Amino acid sequence: MLLVIDSATEACSVALIDGNSLIDERHEVVGRGHAERLVPMIAELLGTRRPRALLVDCGPGSFTGVRVGLAAAHGLAIGWRIPLSGYSSLALIAAGAREREIAVALHGGHGQLFVQSYGRDPLMPLDDLRSLLPEDAAAAVGARRVYGSGAETLVSARGFGEAYDALPRAADALLLPVELRALPPRPIYGRAPDAKPAVSDAAGGLDGPTQ
């Protein structure tokens, strides 16, 4: 059995999968509070069952949510001595959409959108993950149908297309091809960090971190 953990966005979602079958799932849109809700949700889902492998959403998404999910997954993998791998939140939304060609847009920090386009047969990314302001995303993304929490923002900025609000759902990991659920279990932040290391100036002083 495979336990899937997803807390990278406003959703807190877990699923238990056996081969090509969904055994059970829990899915809630919590906004915040993943740290308090995730582990009890996993316990509710599993009961006395123990998975043989773990799969976790690596992001991009909420900085805190991504790290909560990864911390829980790594702790369980160590405790149970089972393998752990990861996937992208955008790939999971694309898998759940079941469309031939779409774009995925999630709200990121500083008013930006995480965007990436996907095609099917098999499901695969058609471009690189980018973090862009809505007007830049509008110019860069051509797919008419856009899924994700930032879909309406992108479509409005572009002036055409169809927007479908969506968040990652752990149960949709069933639809991910093997290569898209075999990522290293480490964070995908989608953009450079806000804080920068301090550097020495000409007078020997230090420049503080910038936002």
pLDDT for residue 196 is more than 90:
no
For the chain, give the mean pLDDT: 91
Residues 111 and 122 in one domain: yes
Assigned domain for 85 exists: yes
210: pLDDT confidence band, cut at 50, 70 and 90? very low
The predicted model gives 10-32 an average pLDDT of 96
Q: How confident is the model at residue 193 (pLDDT cuts 50, 70, 90)?
A: low
**Range(s) of the domain holding residue 40:** 2-89+168-181
175 lies in the same domain as 136: no
What is the per-residue pLDDT for 208? 43
pTM (two decimals)? 0.89
Say whether both 84 and 172 belong to one domain. yes
Please report, for the domain that includes residue 68, its CATH number. Answer: 3.30.420.40
Residues 61 and 102 in one domain: no
Residue 19 domain-assigned?
yes
Question: For residue 86, with 0-12 CB atoms within 10 Å meaning exposed, 13-18 middle and 19 or more buried, which class applies?
Answer: buried
**Does 136 lie in the same domain as 40?**
no
- How many domains does the chain fold into? 2
The answer to whether the peptide bond before residue 122 is cis (omega within 30 degrees of 0) is yes
In terms of C-beta density within 10 A (0-12 exposed, 13-18 middle, 19 or more buried), how is residue 165 classed? exposed
User: 104-127 b/e with 16+ CB inside 10 Å = b?
Assistant: bbbbbeeebbbbbbbeeeebebee
pLDDT (average), residues 140-152: 97
Q: What is the per-residue pLDDT across 98-127, written as a single tens digit (0 to 9) for each?
A: 899 999 999 998 899 999 999 998 999 999
What is the rounded CA–CA span in Å between residue 204 and residue 103? 48
